[in-house]
Amino acid sequence: MKIIPGGVCAAQGFSASGVHCGIRKNRSKKDLALIYSKVPAAAAAVYTTNLVKGAPLTVTRQHLENGVAQAVICNSGNANTCNANGIEVAETICDLLSGEIGVAAEDVIVSSTGVIGQPLSLEPFQAGIPELVKSLSEDGSDAAAEAILTTDLVKKEIAVEFEIDGKVCHIGGIAKGSGMIHPNMATMLVFITSDVAISAPMLKAALQSDVQNTFNMLSIDGDTSTNDMVSVLANGLAGNAEITREGQDFSAFMKALNTVTVHLCRSIAGDGEGATKLLECRVSGADTLETAKTVAKSVVCSSLLKAAMFGADANWGRVLCAIGYSGAELDVSKVKVEFVSPAGEILVCENGSGVDFSEEKAKKILLEKEIEIRVSVGSGAFSASAWGCDLSYDYVKINGDYRT
């Protein structure tokens, strides 16, 4: 497997585009993205667990009931959530695209990110969709990746090439995370494309299994957005024998999918609101997978630890504290903690108690941009990772200073 350029257009038969259509006032900021497969594709998606769900998610869920889609449209600048007419607006967006591109409205995945509770006007869509379709290009992944961003600092894009059944296959993806100045925009959106031939049920199984260990192990600030969605389209143009059950081919697909999703997770975490560092907590030695995951997520979610990492403070007591309140059952007296970064690694806690360590060396390690918090909780066989970011002044500034 190798990493290649091209993002969501790396897989055969996919094109994409991104334009400014007027949802955002700033004309230099693209606000509408399109991903298109020239043939219908198996499709699956997972959605936010928030009880308050954006209207586009409700419409997309209906459209994906048959496991087929051919296009993805996504706007930034307005979440189309908590609006009285949200469903109608989302459906009309699909109709408008359908009329322009010749794909059934039911084969469109629709998505929005932005402010909650403000009516979304259809005018920008009426004006922008023709241009959006006209701009479709096999080099369009960049433009689409840009259009779905709110004020994330960097585009998030990746593609991989691998083989199944002797055929060259591809999976690519783009994502937006949370690096926003406007409020209510902390939505995570991920769009993945592939040319692998895989049945819709197996695609759904692959996605649902993968997100448990990737996007569901990612936290910027503990707030679960109303509009989160991860979708995947697989159009079969790679020509492999269709994957319809578990086995070697499915495993190869899962492995490639995981490479894409882990990369996007890390990209989103590292570009979290106000983040100066990517944090990864790797837990090993757990008696169950659930324990490993619970501990890892509790550590990367701790506000106290996140603030300590911002200050490059080797405050391992906060790691222990977060392990202790995680809810996982484990023997605290077996816990071991190390901090790891490109600058080295350092043991700070063993058997649940502190060990002597060089503050100077720890500081050097923690001043890096990517920090691994390596935790061993015993001699069990299970391990897991979770991703997050530090808590900085800018997080407060971004989320507190709006409108003041």
Residue 216 lies near a second copy (rule: CB under 8 A): no
Q: Which stretch binds a second copy (CB under 8 A): 23-31, 57-65, 307-315, 379-387?
A: 307-315
Applying CB under 8 A, which of residues 50, 216, 288, 341 lies at the interface with a second copy? 50
| Annotated active-site residue in 81, 187, 193, 259 | 187
d(CA 128, CA 32): 8
Amino acid at 344: G
Applying CB under 8 A, which of residues 133, 192, 292, 308 lies at the interface with a second copy? 308
Residue 391 lies near a second copy (rule: CB under 8 A): yes
Nearer to a second copy by Cβ, of 191 and 316: the residue is 316
The binding track of 76-115 with respect to a second copy, each residue x by CB under 8 A or -, is -----xxxx------------------------------x
Residue 313 lies near a second copy (rule: CB under 8 A): yes
**Contact present, 345 and 374 (Cβ < 8 Å):** yes
Nearer to a second copy by Cβ, of 283 and 349: the residue is 349
The pair of three-digit structure tokens given for residue 231, joined into one six-digit string: 């979708």
Minimum distance between the CB of residue 394 and a second copy, rounded to whole angstroms?
Answer: 9
Minimum distance between the CB of residue 341 and a second copy, rounded to whole angstroms?
Answer: 16
Applying CB under 8 A, which of residues 125, 162, 310, 339 lies at the interface with a second copy? 310
Give the phi and the psi of residue 245 in degrees, each rounded to 5: -155, 170
The binding track of 112-131 with respect to a second copy, each residue x by CB under 8 A or -, is ---xxxx-------------
Nearer to a second copy by Cβ, of 201 and 327: the residue is 327
The pair of three-digit structure tokens given for residue 37, joined into one six-digit string: 């497969």
Q: How many residues bind a second copy (CB under 8 A)?
A: 69
Minimum distance between the CB of residue 400 and a second copy, rounded to whole angstroms?
Answer: 3
Applying CB under 8 A, which of residues 44, 149, 175, 349 lies at the interface with a second copy? 349
Residue 341 lies near a second copy (rule: CB under 8 A): no
Applying CB under 8 A, which of residues 67, 324, 378, 380 lies at the interface with a second copy? 324
Cβ-based neighbours of 370, under 8 Å, separated by 6 or more: 270, 277, 278, 280, 341, 342
Applying CB under 8 A, which of residues 251, 353, 358, 379 lies at the interface with a second copy? 353
Nearer to a second copy by Cβ, of 138 and 359: the residue is 359
Q: Is 187 a catalytic residue?
A: yes
Nearer to a second copy by Cβ, of 76 and 141: the residue is 76
Residue 261 lies near a second copy (rule: CB under 8 A): no
Residue 221 lies near a second copy (rule: CB under 8 A): yes
In three-state form (DSSP H/G/I as H, E/B as E, the rest C), the secondary structure along the chain is CEEECCHHHCCCCEEEEEECCCCCCCCCCCCEEEEEEEEEEEEEEEECCCCCCCHHHHHHHHHHHHCEEEEEEEEEEECCCCCCCHHHHHHHHHHHHHHHHCCCHHHEEEEEEEECCCCCCCHHHHHHHHHHHHCCECCCHHHHHHHCCCCCCCCEEEEEEEEECCEEEEEEEEEECCCCCCCCCCCCEEEEEECCCECHHHHHHHHHHHHHHCHHHECCCCCCCCCCEEEEEECCCCCCCCECCCCHHHHHHHHHHHHHHHHHHHHHHHCCCCCCCEEEEEEEEECCHHHHHHHHHHHHHCHHHHHHHHCCCCCHHHHHHHHHCCCCCCCHHHCEEEEEECCEEEEEEECCEECCCCHHHHHHHHCCCEEEEEEECCCCCEEEEEEEECCCHHHHHHHHCCCC
Minimum distance between the CB of residue 331 and a second copy, rounded to whole angstroms?
Answer: 9
Applying CB under 8 A, which of residues 9, 186, 278, 279 lies at the interface with a second copy? 186
* Alpha carbon of residue 45 to chain centroid: 12
Residue 212 lies near a second copy (rule: CB under 8 A): no
Question: What positions carry a catalytic annotation?
Answer: 187
**Footprint of a second copy (CB under 8 A):** 48-53, 81-84, 115-118, 183-184, 186, 221-226, 301-304, 307-313, 315-318, 320-326, 328-330, 332, 349, 352-354, 359, 363, 390-393, 395-404
